[in-house]
Structure 1
């Protein structure tokens, strides 16, 4: 296998990222603990009746605790250890994987050549595997950003149910702490990647009680965006959002993104499907200038 350092410093690198394969899944409860039932937080997409107010319940929003900022790979590693996904951790053998991380970090690295941004990544090698985690990220919180963040979570509550046949409970407080995560396997050239990704939900007419559904699961990503009224707003949407949409979705094999379009005052007006396969052509003109 080609040395990673040699691969990175070549002038021209032929990179191939294989189709991601879902291996396992797990759920995180409201207390940020792994749940015994791995499917507990699995949610199903349902089209709601519109319009809907994304501001509803903002004052009762249950946010992640400050300690969540320092979780790093905690839940992923707990689950990998529990399921022994990379052979027995307690043996002396080398782990059967090259890199372990979360999807968010891979998405960040994929976008870096085309976006002006800085980041710090911690890399630790243990038993032949390299664990990657972004840290020391400065996050600035202000009221408008918190409200926009809430819009995304409220959109999820309006469209996701614990069963494809159950009504959606719109009155419960939105809880940011609960998550449904899927563990994927992929290959970057010859390097084996194992990464976790929070998945919003799936599109299915059947209630799943077994993890066998992962093989052919139709995962769905949910995004909110301001209503697009003119060409300038369309340009901004394509330039600043679609690349992130694509990297996040590509890494977990998502084919369809459901975009909820809202007014300035936070009223959800319409929901339109965005096909992930159409994004590269739309974003092509914004990916010609590289910053590295």
Structure 2
């Protein structure tokens, strides 16, 4: 794998879409106008310009503050505790940044469990935590308001950050305002509004990803694969003048750096598994998309390191490499820039604020077309889209602080 990051020349040439170098200064292609785009008022369109338009000094991103955490067990049961927090097996931590191993990701594959969660459930789990810990989020001058601009899972935020470079991805994010805070929920491909259990893993690559994480956390190589257990940290971060609360799933903590009552995620490590890269075009794609995704996830969360396993097509990991999050933009060799991602995100969040301000009672749909812009529409029949459940809106500002799924108060200052 060493030659990947130390190769020089950039793969420029013309791609399939007939454009040059999708790095700096390139934007959406010329294309026929879609029906959705044709029907849009320009005031409701967030135009995605060429990436160089977002260059310049990036908004300040403060160190994310840990407010608390919660666990989801193998039955997808929510708990105000840290029982599902995992720790890195340090024998897999490369001393010089790189290590040769032989890890078979197919072991225990016949015992793989079924993932039964979905994005709506994950979002509701965050709301449960907020409901039980609302005191640490209350606005001190306005008692009927949280001191937060946006509340979301991490994925909608990283999706937005990657949009200036990810032209081939379409997405939908719904937004609703409640008592001064805007709530984001990203629509999944199977429509998050429809309750569906995933009966099986989508493919072997998903199984391998969970198995690799199990190896890194000292799991039994012959044991089964558990996909439903999660530990999530609730973080508050300020980007420029915008405050965000989100709850990323965290892979593991370094036992040498972990401390009780941690206030940030500097002692945590992201774990990723991907295919070994040899072809130039796949190396370029990896730099442009994977490195950008990993960087956005870790940078928002304040996780400083990524432990990556490179596997062959048979599911055997031969190489482990440890990267610093802050080194990823340079490793991308110009395929994307951190400042562009931050500036784009800040501008889009301002756009969302301006749209919702016009009618805070409405549900808004922000839709990114493939190779296109982002269009904002009001959902005509908001009764069909229940982003915030009644048990949350009815009790958030009431005196009843306990949520219905726990008997114990789990205060934000007692994270662990």
Q: Larger % of strand: which?
A: 1
What RMSD in Å do the two structures reach over aligned CA positions?
Answer: 3.1
Report the counterpart of residue 275 of structure 1 in structure 2. 324
CA distance in 2 between partners of 1:50 and 1:284 (Å): 28
From 230, 238, 242, the equivalent of 1:187 is: 238
User: Normalised by the size of structure 1, how large is the TM-score?
Assistant: 0.82
Report the counterpart of residue 105 of structure 2 in structure 1. 54
From 227, 239, 253, the equivalent of 1:176 is: 227
From 18, 22, 47, the equivalent of 2:66 is: 22
1:51-94: CA deviations, max 9, x gaps? 111112222211221x5243251110101111224239xx9611
Q: How far off is 1:274 after superposition?
A: 1.4
Report the counterpart of residue 165 of structure 1 in structure 2. none
CA distance in 1 between partners of 2:125 and 2:131 (Å): 10
From 75, 78, 87, the equivalent of 2:138 is: 87
Q: How far off is 1:26 after superposition?
A: 1.0
From 160, 169, 180, the equivalent of 1:128 is: 180
- Computing the radius of gyration from Cα coordinates, the structure with the larger value is 2
The verdict on how the C-alpha distance between 1:216 and 1:238 changes in structure 2, with shifts beyond 3 A counting, is closer
Q: Which runs of 5+ in 1 are unaligned?
A: 162-167
Report the counterpart of residue 63 of structure 1 in structure 2. 114
Q: How far off is 1:119 after superposition?
A: 1.0
CA distance in 1 between partners of 2:279 and 2:166 (Å): 24
Other structure's SS at 2:247 match: strand
Q: Which runs of 5+ in 2 are unaligned?
A: 1-42, 48-52, 93-99, 192-197, 345-370, 374-416
CA contact (8 A) 2:161 2:296 kept: yes
Q: How far off is 1:138 after superposition?
A: 4.3
CA distance in 2 between partners of 1:58 and 1:108 (Å): 31
1:74 aligns with 2:74: no
The verdict on how the C-alpha distance between 1:17 and 1:214 changes in structure 2, with shifts beyond 3 A counting, is closer
1:156 aligns with 2:213: yes
User: Normalised by the size of structure 2, how large is the TM-score?
Assistant: 0.59
1:40 aligns with 2:83: yes
CA contact (8 A) 1:29 1:178 kept: yes
CA distance in 2 between partners of 1:115 and 1:239 (Å): 8
CA distance in 1 between partners of 2:272 and 2:182 (Å): 31
CA contact (8 A) 2:308 2:321 kept: yes
Matches within 5 A, 1:259-274: 259-274=308-323
